[in-house]
Every structure is written in C-alpha cells, then in structure tokens.
Structure 1
Amino acid sequence: MANHLHYLLNEWYPERDNAEWVLGTVYETEGPCYRKAGAMMLFSSLGQQLGMLSGGCLESDIQRHAKKVMMTGEACTLTYDSQDEDDLSFQLGIGCGGTVHIMLQPIHAGNGYLSLDVICAQLEQRKSGFYYQRIVTNGAEYRSELYPLREDSPARG
C-alpha cells in the first residue's frame, strides 16, 4: 500500500493549492469488497480522481459527495451496502456483495493538509510511520494524525 500511497501523494502534492481536495478513505468493510480498510483516494474540484475506493463502480457517486465536502468544508461518512435493496450500489446492480464505509475529509492548508504533505516527504525519504484517522460517525468527530517511527525503532525497515 505504501507504493500506492506514494504515487497518489506525488500526483497530489504539486497541485495541493491549485484546487480544492478531498481525501476519501475506506475505514471499514463487511463481507467481500474490492478494496479493504485503509484504501485511499483523492478528489479535486477540477474533477481529478487519484486512486480508487471500489472496483470503479462507486467513484462517480463518491465524487458527488466529495463536491459537497468541498462546498461545506465538513467531513462526512458514506456507507454503500450492495445487499440493501434501497442502496445505490444494489439498485445499479454493482458491487461485490459486501458493505463499504468511507470517510471524506477536506484537505487544505488550514487543516495542515491532514499531514499528507508530511507523509509524502517521508515516503520520498523512505521513512516509515503510522497514519491514524479517528472516525466517530454519529458524534461527527473526524481527525487525522501522523505518527512517524523513531529512527531507532526495530519496526523500521
């Protein structure tokens, strides 16, 4: 996943201030799903989509929600349940038979780019670390933090 994230962030970093951006993260899955928890995707106000959060079937709907996040500046969560007859993914006849939970967060200088600029630099230097995203769906708390590994950490490698 680090190589995938490195690619996404290298594409995003030079454009980070040229458009509005939203980070989409799969934070939980239930049953069979194309992408697992931790998958990330970036959406821009110019229509750019970097990465994927599903097998390609949900991205246009996620983009629509990402535009709302850009307009309001507030993070949100989405759930796609391909077994629920009332859910969009079921109605379109797409999906993998599972449920995908996604968090969308605005990315801008005011929120420290969600530390994605720091992660980009660390990946460029081949450093390890942890990216922690706190999600509270009903309490509406969305927070991202970066925990770099210490230079002498045995997990580094």
Structure 2
Amino acid sequence: MKELQEIVKAYDDATERGLKTALATVVHVEGSAYRHEGARMLVTENGELTGAISGGCLEGDALRKARLAIVESRNTLVTYDTTDDDDATMGVGLGCNGVIQVLLEPLNPGDEFNPIHLFRSYLAKRQEAVLGTFFSLQNKLAPQAGTSVLLTSDRGQQGFLDSAVKDAFLADAGKVLKCAESLIVNYHDTITGFIEYLKPPVHLLIFGAGNDAMPLVQFAHILGWEVSVIDGRANYATTNRFPSASQVLVSKPEHCLSGIVIDHWTVAVLMTHNYNYDIAALRQLSNFDLKYIGALGPKKKLQRMLDELQENEIPLSAEKLDIVFGPTGLDIGSETPEEIALSIVSEIKAVLSNRTGTSLKFRPAEQNAVELVSKKHPNAKFSSCAINL
C-alpha cells in the first residue's frame, strides 16, 4: 500500500516535469528471492527510482532495461536467474537462489487505464481490490499485456480484459477476494496471469496521547499504517504532537469511537494510563470483530477490566479474549518508549500474519519447505481455498 502511494506520487511529480516513466513489477518468482510477486519500482527516463524489486542487486540492470522499454514504447518481460552461473553474481548480495520475472511497462499519461491510474482508483478509498497483470512466460517476444484490469467494489471492472481470459479471470478474482490470497494462473499456453489481492493498510487506533504514544505513531507511519490517536485531553491530543497521524481526536471516554471507521483491518492499543478511559474503550471495542486489541500496563490491570466487564454483563467470548493482548508487545526486553513501541508494532504484525514472533533461526525446516513449494507452484495453496494443480 505505502509503496503504491509513493509510486503514484513519484509518477505525478515526473509527469509534471515532463519525464517519461516505466513501471517494473515482479510478476513471477520460482525459488527464493528478496522480494516476491507484487514488488514494484517506478523508473524515470533520467534514472530516478521509487520503490524496489530486490534488495538492490537487480535495480541497476532493471533501470537500464526499463529505459530501453521507454524508448521502444513496448512492454518487456525480463528474467533474472540467480541459479545460473552467468546471473549468479546478481543474487550474491541477496543470498538469492531463484528465477525472478520482472515486467517492464512504459507508462502513457494519455492512457486512462495505465497502471498508475488503476492504482489511483484503488487508493481512493479503503477497500479490497483485485489487480490483473498478464504476461507470457513461454514467449517473451510476444506482446506482454501487462497490468491491465482492476476490480473494486465501488467501481467494478476498470481497464482492458482480453475476451480470451475474461470469464476465467473473473472466476479467479472471486477466489482471490474470498481467500485474500494472490494467485498466479496459466490461462492457456501463451498467457499467464498474476491475480493480485490488494487490501487496505492496517488502521491502528491508539487510545492515549501521552509521550509514549509518539514513537508508536512514528513506527506505524513508517510501515504505511493509518493511525488514529484518541484522548480526552485537548492539550495532549494535537496534530502538532502527532503530525504523522491520520487523525487526532479529542473525545470523552463514552464517545471515544465517535467519528472512527472500524473495519476488518483495524487494530487497537489502550495506553491512556487512565483505567476508566481504557475500560470504556475496551467495552466499545468488544462490539467489533477486530484481530488485535493491546493493553499497556500490568496483566492484573487488564484482568481487572475484564472482570469488571463480566460483572456488568458484558462478557467476552473465548474468541474475543484471544485477540486481547496484555501486556501488549513482544518480549524483547523493552524499557524505553521507543523500544516498547517496537515491541507493540512487532506483535501486531505477527498476529496479523499468523506468526508467533519467534526468531527465524528457530523456524521449522518443514515450514520453509512448504513455502518453497508454494512459491514454485503458486496454484498449490495449502488452505481451504486451494486451487489444485
């Protein structure tokens, strides 16, 4: 999400300066790579880069080839094979051992459905979307359709969709939305589709505008999350103190969710250091289907709040209790506000990714093997949403 926002901004700036641009997109990965399908980079004709398609080793060559694609005004599919001795030096800096397909698309400002315009339509509101990018792995000299269609709930289908793949693509797009997983599909011998699931950014609600909330807002902003800061103290809850927050609201405890839009991608942290305010927020948050609610402070404080809700006939189900984390944050030995903020955003990210937050050193080898197979065979999903090979 953040990368798309930065690419759109850089494209607008380049267009204003009269510079031609191209979009580089990782569309297929087999084996290991620093970044995977959906990684993007905007290239200007004078060599400016926004975004990234690797850890740095592919960008230089991709820049050169993207500028050539701009001159030729032609979509191009480029292969980087870091398993090949000739290309291996490109992967040394990444520790890569895979085959990476990068699609280069010159951008025409006059095309109402060029990829940037599709991104802009998706970014216009918080929504799920499906983006279709089409290319030919079998014949790289054939025309590469590129990023050509977007499906959103508010505007439906936008862009051009080849009649040969339309029905199949629409069916696959439905599966992608249902499963919230991107797919790579071979439609026939000459067309492969990267059917990408796009979701809104995480929306972090921070109840409390004390000094310890400042680094938490900053960390979340760096990650591209939207942040709302809510507090009852007008001299604390100000935009001057939280310039990177999406919104800063002054509210009484009983109305602390007024003016807040809560959806499936919303998480919350209670850190007002005021028991009555925190429990009022928790009481109201319990009415929503969130994935994470964190409570700063000792565990006994959280238990007291839960017991009080129970006594007032507002019991939390086992499912609700599972998403309440207190003390909030991973156990990394945090002491300073900055370290505590790091532990909190890390725990939220782990929960949203269904991970434990364990050191990668101790990740089971079997899990690595499953992920490697899923990268080699993207249609072989290990879930109820499987599309079998």
TM-score (norm 1): 0.84
Check if 1:5 corresponds to 2:4: yes
Shift in Å, 1:102: 0.4
Structure-1 separation of matches of 2:80 and 2:151: 32
CA distances 1:98-152 after superposition (whole Å, capped 9, x unpaired):
1211010100124436141242243143343222111124133323223232249
Change (3 A) 1:35 1:79: same
**Corresponding residue for residue 142 of structure 1:** 145
- Listed as ranges, the matches of 1:1-157 within 5 Å are 2-16=1-15, 18-87=18-87, 90-92=88-90, 93-95=92-94, 96-112=96-112, 114-137=114-137, 138=139, 139-151=142-154
**Corresponding residue for residue 279 of structure 2:** none
Paired-residue identity, %: 24
Q: Which fold has the larger relative contact order, with Cα–Cα distance below 8 Å and residues 6 or more apart in sequence?
A: 1
- For the 8 Å contact 1:26–1:100, the answer to whether it is kept is yes
TM-score (norm 2): 0.36
Change (3 A) 1:11 1:110: closer
- For the 8 Å contact 2:122–2:152, the answer to whether it is kept is no
Indicate the larger mover: 16-25 or 121-130. Answer: 121-130
- For the 8 Å contact 1:20–1:107, the answer to whether it is kept is yes
Specify every segment of 5 or more residues in structure 1 that has no aligned partner in the other structure, as ranges. Answer: none
CA distances 1:13-65 after superposition (whole Å, capped 9, x unpaired):
23235211001010000111011011111000121100000111110110010
Structure-2 separation of matches of 1:152 and 1:79: 34
Indicate the larger mover: 13-22 or 144-153. Answer: 144-153
Indicate the larger mover: 77-86 or 143-152. Answer: 143-152
- For the 8 Å contact 2:127–2:153, the answer to whether it is kept is no
- For the 8 Å contact 2:130–2:151, the answer to whether it is kept is yes
Q: Which amino acid letter does the alignment assign opposite residue 25 of structure 1?
A: T
Q: Secondary structure at the match of 1:5?
A: helix
Specify every segment of 5 or more residues in structure 2 that has no aligned partner in the other structure, as ranges. Answer: 157-176, 178-198, 200-262, 264-389
Higher strand share: 1
Structure-1 separation of matches of 2:108 and 2:81: 30
CA distances 1:47-101 after superposition (whole Å, capped 9, x unpaired):
11000001111101100101110111011111111110122xx135444111211
